[in-house]
Structure 1
Amino acid sequence: MRGALPTGDNLSQRRIYTDAKCPFCGEEETTFHLLYKCSFAAEIWEKAPFKASLVPEQITSIRDLIERAKNLICLPPCDIGGGPLFPWILWSIWLARNHRIFKDKQSSPRETLSQAIALAREWNYAQTHPPTQNQKLSTPGTKPTSPTDSETTVCHTDSAWNANQKVAGFGWVFSNCREDFLREGSECLTNIRSPLLAEAIAIHQALLHAYEMGITNLSITSDSKQLIEAILSETPHKDLHGILHDILILSSTFQKIRFSFVSRNVNRQSDALAKRSLLNIVPRPVIAF
């Protein structure tokens, strides 16, 4: 409201960067546009799990947005208690904007909203449940319970990457301790600069789906030993940039979580899903004889 955010219009007024536009739609980037009017932000507000929706005609400024968003009530499945969601939506939109500009990392409105809900849940849980000596939550850097625990869901993840077109397919398969099939999924994205980044995005996508499924105890597996070591050590990697941070943030929303390396032979089902997804964009060449 005071012009503190370095959005395009504020940078132009300060004569720092006069050509800055909204990274999502290319229109003039004002704070109000970025956080509400842009089609990217509008989809997030529309899909947010509020009991009542915002009325666009009643919101003409960022002040109106904040004042009316303060009264929005979240539906129970969000599991964020009585705390607000709107500050985390604003923050997640800002993060998505910066990641797109500075890290060339694309996030969909759905992913951005999921991150906002995860952050709100984490914050509100911390306010009402201070850690005690008897509370032992598994984190990426500790030794969690065995993935064969009856309450643990196992998720195998994998990716397939096309070096020429910088396109990647992702696959993930959820099962329980008895190896009963629960759910599988796949996706394909462009502008993926390395196979290691593709493996990381596969895990990130799996975490988002696990969160939406309401899973609390999770064991994530990958056949990329380098990625698993990077996650467990929580150390930055030049090919991972912000995705490692996003993985660790999402990890904190689970009661128990484990990341482990598995052989490619164990990962065949998720590997097949990833390759099939990639073929939807990059089909195999037809060779005529």
Structure 2
Amino acid sequence: MGPPSSENKDFVVKDLLLSNSSSWNLATIRLHLPQYEKRILKIKPSDFRMADELSWLPVKSGVYSTKSGYVIAKLHAVTAPAPPFRWLQCVWRVKTSPKLKTFLWKIKNRALPVEETLATQGIIVDPTCKRCGAAENELHFLLQCPFAVRVRDRLPVTHKPSATDPTTIPQLLQDCCRMINLPPTGMASTPLYPWVFWNLWTCRNQLLFEGKDYTSKEVADKACSDAKAWHVAQEALTQQKREVKLTKPCPSTISPASLTCFVDAAWDNSTGCSGLGWVLKDNSNTTLFQNSRIQRFVSSALVAEALALKAALQDAASSGIKELNCHSDSKNLISLINGNGNSVDLQGILHDIRVESSSSPG
């Protein structure tokens, strides 16, 4: 509360824990950080002295990604945010190859080295289009250049954008989503425009760097051919996955000699209290023992489910059980454990579960 004192100015987390324990020292917390008492008590440290790790707090996994960093940077940008752009519909969920999704992202973010962009960055270039002499930017070579217009006129699609409308790249990408392939293409759901944009870009580069020139018909035909080849390949891959799924053998049953433990938890959001419960049965479905526990200062239902599993493993280990099959109705928890995933709220608990699990073959 207030500025740090000479006593606590160099405090670290372990100074708030009881000596040689993973439990919080309530007296110390109430002396130095009383306003954060409940938040601190909801953090569950590891019982097995888990090594310190760096965590990226804005995401649940604690793992930094450029995507999450980009989002945070945009949220704290000084300039006014741009008008809403439908990224999923116009870029990331477009039914096309991953390479072309990245290409669409570059178009939207003006990340292509067109002449006008290079000139604004201080690179000495001729900022004009090599085909028509107009200023070359993304919107020009994709939409407004007479060569691009001729290529677009040859496409067997409806609702084509005109050379004068749209007037921005975001509008262009959103308008292209309305284009519909006509029957001669043989593609009902695979959009053609990403392949057209890609071929306009590659033929522009070949003209600029190699002196190779292509007709509008050649570019349009190549775009249709590339799109059709990708479409056929995806249909074949989908069919292959269906066949593999149909022929996939059923998973092996649990060993009849093993014991089974069922765990569950209930959590009250208003109080932060949770009830943990577990029951152990043998292969004849006979209950060997069951137990329950009340846990305070729990931050979420997922944390409660993880604490229930940890308590069950500790209970089984103290009873001398070396092999155990555990079942939980929390899909997220099972996915984190089986996939060796992580979560900021669960770091210590997951570490303890893995340590308990690795101490026996089961």
TM-score by length of 1: 0.43
- Greater strand fraction, Structure 1 or Structure 2: 1
Larger Rg: 2
- Structure with the higher helix share, 1 or 2: 2
